[in-house]
Amino acid sequence: MEKTGGDREAVIGEECHIIGRKPSGSRHDPEANVDLDTYDNLVLLCRNHHKLIDDQPTEYGIERLKRIKVNHEKWVRDTLDENVARQTGQEKPTLDEITLLPRIQTGKELLGVVRGASWTVDTDQSETEEEAQLVSSFLEQLAGWCDVLDHSGPGIGVRAEFYLGSEIQALEESGFLVFGGRMKSSSGWPEAAICILRETNTAASAA
């Protein structure tokens, strides 16, 4: 909250764990084989909502919080893109304007498309909870690595390529293909598009 005449700003955001870090914490999973203090397991909430999700872990389970995080990150990206378009007087390119996107099969190819760019995502509708989790996990990993790479040395990029490549392979084993490419934009900001389609999708066959 903004500062007043006699006081400094008030920081009301709290760092919250999706999977509880402490054994006594909400949504703690003793079998979770991840670093619970990394970006993928954290969300930023106000104090009221932090207490709400911790007091109601059945209503706000791990998978629901992950979906909320992915949806909010997408909203932020889309909102920023719209603001840039309004300020520059340029319309934001849409996925409908892209007739052909190359298939992405490696983490290196994926990072080459999205790194340093604002990216738009389009996916086939998930038919099961498992599919929704698979796709959302992939997008979370991609967003997380992009954020890390913006503030890290080149060595981290090697790890990012490996782990993202594994995510792409997991999608392919479940019948999904990943496509992506940079979009032409006159806004001055790098922009990219990522599509996750089923192998049976005619658009995937065409690409």
Angle at 63 between CA 121 and CA 109, to 5 degrees: 35
Residues near 138 by Cβ (< 8 Å), separated by ≥ 6? Answer: 167, 168, 170, 171, 196
Q: Of 140, 205, 194, which is closest to residue 167 (Cα–Cα)?
A: 140
Element (H, E) at 86: helix 62-88
Write down the pTM of the prediction: 0.51
Token pair 């990993």 in the structure block, residue: 141
Q: What does the alpha-carbon distance between residue 124 and residue 176 come to, in Å, rounded to a whole number?
A: 9
In the structure, how many helices (H) and strands (E) does the chain have? 6, 6
Amino acid at 184: K
Q: Which long-range contacts (C-beta less than 8 Å, at least 24 apart) are formed by 200-204?
A: 200/175, 201/124, 204/177, 204/179
- pLDDT by residue for the chain (207 residues), tens only, comes to 788 888 888 888 899 999 998 888 899 998 888 889 899 899 998 888 899 999 999 988 999 898 888 888 887 787 776 655 555 555 555 544 444 688 999 999 999 998 888 888 888 888 888 888 899 989 988 988 887 776 666 678 888 899 999 999 999 999 999 999 887 665 566 788 899 998 887 655 545
